[in-house]
Chain A
Amino acid sequence: MSPLNLQIRTFKRFLHRVHKGRSLVELNLLMMLMADTFSKPAGGSQPGSGEPQGSGWFRTFTIAAYKPYFDVDTSDIIDRLKESLFPFRGTFTEKTATNPDLYGPFWICTTLIFVAASIGTFVTYIAHKLKKKEWDYDINLVTWSAGVFYGYVTVVPLILYVILKYFSAPSGLVQLFCLYGYSLFVFIPALCLSVVPLEIFRWVIAGVAGFMSATFVALNLKAHINSAGERWFLIVTGIFLLQLALAVVLKLYLFTVTV
């Protein structure tokens, strides 16, 4: 039996015992241990690895603390990007379980912000010029899209992490960030295609991209939390709908032009 399954089994047995009224402190301790095992790559957490670790709380402000999450080559990133375009495979979480990266999510979000702002601007520009009206550059597009994308990729995985912990199917936080970050990649070509001024075409593109992105997140999460018990279907459906809602919000805000 793989170590992962063994840990899940042990954790479930412990949870069962705690449920029968044993110590809550032990449960907390075990949950923290499990979280650590899931968050970091398996081979990277050896003690005495030669680097001074520093005090507890301000390690989060050093660069060295985040280096393990950027340990990827160009070919790895390209592989993961291609993987995110095929939502029905469901193998993304396995491939990134030991080496989740934060490079992909961060730069995909940043590129999306730029693409969204520029395409949104271009669309309103064309619409105004076609009707020979005055047009001003709306700088709020940049700030708004930055808020939406960074906020979505930061807040939703955090909430999901807490929910999954509560339902005893813990997933590493970085793996969730990674999953959500790469799921947004399909919106980049979708936004580029949405320049075409046909309303029906734009809705179709938004629908297809939203569906692909949502299926990607849902299928990859489902493979992981099948062991969580009765509630997995609810969680997976919730996530699916949330991603679809993001696609709809994008389409409505960026491409609704009132001239």
Chain B
Amino acid sequence: MALRDWDLWGPFFFIVFLGLTLSWSASVKKSEVFAVAFALLAAGAVILTLNVLLLGGHIVFFQSLSLLGYCLFPLDVGALICMMENNVILKMIVVCVTLAWSSWAAYPFMSSAVNLSRKALALYPVFLMYVSVGFLTIAID
């Protein structure tokens, strides 16, 4: 029921924080990194919601944006840890763990929104977005 009270401040904060963290970790082209991260996350949340709506799912647009934004929290933590670490193996482990956590958080909401025969179609893009953010986190050093 807490889902019904959607808000966009939380997601906004998490997206900006993630963009800033990635930007701080980058040694060159900091502003481009921030721009790409912010655009990827913001546009990604909108596109994922549209995807579910187009597949015939039943969700409220802003509620979905809100949820996808809040589920970024583990990735924020992961990016913060990766900013302070330099070992690639450790970064990979941290990103994998936080990625799994984010996906596990977003899974129930997304899978219940669509028809059972289209569940994978709705979940795959969520997974893709989180994996690409995780990849950005590992790659930027």
Contact = CB atoms under 8 A, between A and B. Distances in A.
Interface of A: 63, 66-67, 69-75, 77, 103, 107, 110-111, 114, 118, 121, 125, 136-137, 139-140, 142-143
A71 B120 CA distance: 14
B50 A63 contact: yes
Contacts of B132: 114, 118
A72 to B, nearest CB: 7
Nearest to A122: B139
A178 to B, nearest CB: 15
A136 B27 contact: yes
13 contacts: A63-B53, A66-B54, A72-B121, A73-B115, A74-B117, A77-B121, A107-B124, A114-B132, A118-B132, A136-B27, A137-B28, A139-B32, A139-B33
Given A63-B50, A63-B53, A70-B54, A137 B139 contact: yes
A136 B28 contact: yes
Given A63-B53, A137-B139, A75 B117 contact: yes
A107 B118 contact: no
Interface residues of B, number: 28
Interface of B: 26-29, 32-33, 36, 50-51, 53-56, 115, 117-121, 124-125, 128, 131-132, 135, 139-141
B131 to A, nearest CB: 7
B45 to A, nearest CB: 14
Contact of B29 (A67, A107, A139): A139
Given A111-B128, A137-B139, A139-B33, A73 B117 contact: yes
Listed residue (A107, A136, A139, A143) with the most chain B CB atoms within 10 angstroms of its CB: A139
